[in-house]
Amino acid sequence: MSGKSAAIVGFIANLLPLYSCESHDGIGCARSLQDGTLVWPVDESDWDEERGTVRMQWQGDPLRESLVDGDQIATLALERYVRLHGVGANEEALAAELWFMARHFHFKTSCHVYLPQLPEPPHPLVRAGRAARRMGEGLLVNLVCKLSGVG
């Protein structure tokens, strides 16, 4: 199976350790390692447009399934993935990583995750300038303390 739906399922399946890749009836699926939910691609080839719809079997139960926009599931998965892999990082670093992962998702699937408040991270030179300024402030404080005989 190919198309946006399969690309989304493949992307989600690679978000280890939240999901794993499984094959069912020769179709690549993503299994949530948290609750067992199974994400299947949907054949949208005869639809008016490919939207990236996926079939969800909640907790892996075929009797509890629904069709969902794959970019919505991916939004939740990416946010959890970035937070898991960024334990200990500050919010600015997490937001920057989420922004880059959202762009990577778009590159791989041509779909967009829903993160309306997520700003583009500052250019690396801007971040380096901020870090240098913070270090410079510390050096200046140390110099003033030594010159004034404090510390």
Strand partners, 69: 53
Q: How many Cα atoms sit within 13 Å of 23 on the Cβ side? A: 3
Task: Return the pLDDT at 2.
Answer: 78
At residue 47, what are phi and psi to the nearest 5 degrees?
-85, 165
Q: How many Cα atoms sit within 13 Å of 26 on the Cβ side? A: 2
Task: Return the pLDDT at 126.
Answer: 45
Task: Return the pLDDT at 34.
Answer: 94
Residue 132 token pair = 């240098």
Q: Give residue-wise pLDDT tens across range 4-44.
A: 999 999 999 999 999 999 999 899 999 999 999 999 999 88
Q: Which residues of the chain have pLDDT under 50?
A: 126-129
